[in-house]
Structure 1
Amino acid sequence: MGRRRAFDEDEVVRAAVELFGGRAYDGVSVDDLVTHLGVHRNSLYKTFGSKRGLYLVALRRHVADDVRPLTEALAAATDAATALRLVASANLGLLLLAAVERAPADEEVSAEVDAALAALDQAIADALGISAELAAALTAAALGLRLRGNPGGARTALAHRLDPLD
């Protein structure tokens, strides 16, 4: 009979989301995971299989805990400025890092990122009654603003130009 786990898997995954979201996959070593998550190396491998296995679990958790609630909030958006503000201010660090770092090299990560971005696009299209193409452009603009850390004034100006009702 195996020993009971000495750690809370849910807490470890949440902490991994923060760690990978702040430092990216390549910026986190297995030693970093062991140190920051408080999990023994053997336990980490037994539970998640590998660093990549933990990363995929963390990415999926990030989508469930951060991206899905954002899509629900976007459903209530009544204008492009609100949608931009919601996306640009959301906690999407791990998703953005995954999109630029891992998705080009890892098909599973790419599929997760593509699905999350498609969900954002769809939520914006449905909420604002706009085409999928315009919604994707709005999502891209909001994520670009998020990456640049641009303050609200620029978000509002951009939203005004993209708002199909203006």
Structure 2
Amino acid sequence: MGRPRGFDEQAVTRAAVALFSRRAYDGLSVDDLVNGLGVHRNSLYKTFGSKRGLYLTALRWYLDHDLAPLLTSGASPFPDPAALDLLLLAAVEQAPFDPEVASLIGDALASLDAALGPDAATALLGLRLRARINLKE
């Protein structure tokens, strides 16, 4: 019988969302993830399979638990524009090269368009991208 897992998978996934939102996929090494998440390398690989596996788990978590509620709340959906960071980073960094990420991001962008209207969604994304470029977080 294997040893019980020494960490909370959901807590690690949420922490990974934060890391990927700040530094993107290519901006993080496995060592950065291990240190930032406080898990052993073997545990990370055993649970998520790979860095990409962790990324996809974190991206799905973010889309389902962070972004979707903002889009369905009916209120002003982005009191904190940083809530868009992982969406933006995934769209520009991974979606052009990874069909699975492209599909997830395409669906999320369609939901954003439906919630705000395409022009407002594009403006909101553009403003957040400019803020990230200008380091105005």
TM over 0.5: yes
Q: Shift of residue 104 of structure 1?
A: 0.3
**What is the root-mean-square deviation in Å for CA atoms of aligned residues?**
1.8
Give the superposition deviation at 1:123: 1.7
Superposed CA deviations along residues 65-120 of structure 1, whole A, max 9, x for unmatched, are: 221111123x34xxxxx56xx37725111111000000001011111111111111
What do residues 8-63 of structure 1 show as CA deviations (whole Å, max 9, x unaligned)? 10110011001111001001000111111111111111100100000000001111
TM-score between the two structures when normalised by the length of structure 2 = 0.89
Q: How does 1:60-139 map to 2 (within 5 A)?
A: 60-73=60-73, 75-76=74-75, 86=78, 89=81, 91-124=83-116, 135-139=117-121
Q: Which runs of 4+ in 1 moved over 3 A?
A: none
Name the amino acid aligned to 2:110. A
Retained in 2: the 8 A contact 1:87–1:139? no
Q: Partner of 2:5: helix, strand, or coil? A: coil
Larger Rg: 1
Q: How many percent of aligned residue pairs carry the same amino acid? A: 61
Provide, for residues 124-157 of structure 1, a one-character-per-residue CA deviation record: whole Å limited to 9, x for no partner.
2xxxxxxxxxx2122111110111239xxxxxxx
Give the structure 2 partner of residue 36 of structure 1.
36
Structure 1: gaps of 5 or more residues: 77-81, 125-134, 151-166
CA distance in 2, matches of 1:112, 1:138: 20
Letter in 1 for 2:103: A
Amino acid in the other structure paired with 1:50: S
Aligned length: 132
Which residue in 1 is equivalent to 2:20? 20
CA contact (8 A) 1:16 1:58 kept: yes
Q: Which residue, 118, 132, 145 being the options, matches 2:127?
A: 145
What residue identity is the alignment partner of 2:38? G
